[in-house]
């Protein structure tokens, strides 16, 4: 008689975290390549596009956004609070930004430096508050009603979609948009993007380096914000009592009760902090890149809130590995987009009867990596033994 027994490892695997991430990436890409090869897409073409995406300067924007959002979700996930509502918190954070910049203080001319600073600062602060409040709602429902936070945060995402869409079609409707269903463009005086042009040198290596420099300058304010978030999250978990309570909540919630700590308050505060970080990134994204909202709102952020879930999980909830995970996900996302627009890929799919399926490529790729990650994460924490009797 043969029995299969699953046992938790008494000692973690050496370099287990990095090994899991690396093998998940490699195995996921190979699985994705095999799937596409089965429908006629050249494996060399697939691997070429993926490898190019990892050295492209185009990943910088997505990398910054996903790193910040990854840290936001890590705060909640550390406490075993599954905040799946970053999408909704992101959109709710955009509400005060659009109101202040395109409604309350909209201008088509120049403004004083003081007004510019005040409007930008106010937009960022209120975005943080709105994101925190939207997160706190989920936390309060979890704490006082005992409802699982996963469906609650998902429902709040859709409520946020509809609320923002209503605002775009109503009070936020632009006056200078020629009938389009969108807000006015945020005035240049309130924009955070840094405009710069670098001339081509004709040398592909130098031009490649300069493209990185250009992107980092353009998103300089975002990089500063990212540095602040990294420091504050580290400080929160290592230097504050609330951070300690969140970690205990994730590992041994009964101890919180025994120690006399209010679990409900910790739950709400954790969701609020997570949402606040999301709201902060929402303000930077709107002021530095998007610059307006359009109806319908759902398709304007490339699903960052959901991609950030993958970032947090792929990092194994390790603060130091969140940027690595964000870089991987942002690179693969861009690879999926690049592959979906490739003429060769479209031709392969059309011939195979899959015309139009290229739009789902990035999700197939990320799904392949997540699948292999789940298997490898299990094997890193548990060992499977075959016992014969």
User: What's the alpha-carbon Rg for the chain, to the nearest Å?
Assistant: 23
Q: Which of 371, 365, 379 is nearest to 330 (CA)?
A: 365
Q: What is the pLDDT of residues 299-348, one digit of tens each?
A: 777 789 999 998 998 888 889 989 998 998 898 888 877 877 777 777 76
Q: What share of the chain is helix, strand, coil (3-state, %, to 5)?
A: 70, 5, 25
Do the domain assignments include residue 47? Answer: no
Section 364-368 average pLDDT: 74
Do the domain assignments include residue 168? Answer: yes
| Residue 365: predicted pLDDT | 73
Do the domain assignments include residue 278? Answer: yes
- pLDDT band for position 51 (50/70/90)? confident
Total number of residues shown for the chain: 389
C-alpha to C-alpha distance for 180 and 177, rounded to whole angstroms? 5
Q: What is the pLDDT of residues 204-263, one digit of tens each?
A: 778 778 888 888 999 999 999 999 999 999 999 999 999 999 999 988 888 888 888 889
Number of domains in the chain: 1
| Residue 185: predicted pLDDT | 95
C-alpha to C-alpha distance for 68 and 277, rounded to whole angstroms? 7
Cβ neighbours of residue 12 closer than 8 Å, sequence gap 6 or more: 380, 381
Q: Is residue 121 packed enough to be buried (19+ CB in 10 Å), middle (13-18) or exposed (0-12)?
A: exposed
- pLDDT band for position 144 (50/70/90)? very high
Residue 211: domain span: 61-315
Q: Which of 86, 91, 62 is nearest to 74 (CA)?
A: 86
Do the domain assignments include residue 33? Answer: no
Do the domain assignments include residue 256? Answer: yes
């Amino acid at each position: 008689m043969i029995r299969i027994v699953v046992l938790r490892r008494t000692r973690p695997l050496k370099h287990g975290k990095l090994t899991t991430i690396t093998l998940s990436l490699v195995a996921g890409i190979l699985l994705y390549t095999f799937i596409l090869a089965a429908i006629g897409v050249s494996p060399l073409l697939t691997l070429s596009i993926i490898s190019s995406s990892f050295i492209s300067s185009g990943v910088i924007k997505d990398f910054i956004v996903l790193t910040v959002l990854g840290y936001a979700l890590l705060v909640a996930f550390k406490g075993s609070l599954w905040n799946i509502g970053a999408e909704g918190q992101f959109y709710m954070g955009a509400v005060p930004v659009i109101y202040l910049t395109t409604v309350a203080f909209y201008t088509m001319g120049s403004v004083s430096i003081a007004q510019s600073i005040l409007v930008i600062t106010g937009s960022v602060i209120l975005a943080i508050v709105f994101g925190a409040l939207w997160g706190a709602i989920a936390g309060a429902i979890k704490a006082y009603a005992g409802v699982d936070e996963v469906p609650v945060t998902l429902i709040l995402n859709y409520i946020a979609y509809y609320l923002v869409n209503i605002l775009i079609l109503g009070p936020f409707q632009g006056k200078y948009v020629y009938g389009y269903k969108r807000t006015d463009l945020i005035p240049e005086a309130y924009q955070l993007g840094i405009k710069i042009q670098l001339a081509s040198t004709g040398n592909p290596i130098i031009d490649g380096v300069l493209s990185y420099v250009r992107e980092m300058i353009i998103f300089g304010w975002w990089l500063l914000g990212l540095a602040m978030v990294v420091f504050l999250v580290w400080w929160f978990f290592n230097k504050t009592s609330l951070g300690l309570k969140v970690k205990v909540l994730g590992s041994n919630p009964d101890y919180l009760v025994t120690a006399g700590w209010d679990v409900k308050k910790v739950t709400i505060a954790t969701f609020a902090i997570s949402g606040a970080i999301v709201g902060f990134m929402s303000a930077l994204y709107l002021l530095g890149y998007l610059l307006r909202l359009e109806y319908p709102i759902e398709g304007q952020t490339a699903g960052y809130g959901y991609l950030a879930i993958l970032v947090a999980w792929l990092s194994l909830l390790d603060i130091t590995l969140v940027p690595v995970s964000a870089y991987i996900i942002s690179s693969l996302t861009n690879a999926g987009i690049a592959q979906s627009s490739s003429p060769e890929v479209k031709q392969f799919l059309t011939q195979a009867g899959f015309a139009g399926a290229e739009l789902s490529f990035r999700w197939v790729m990320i799904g392949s990596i997540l699948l292999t990650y789940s298997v490898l994460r299990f094997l890193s924490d548990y060992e499977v033994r075959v016992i014969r009797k």
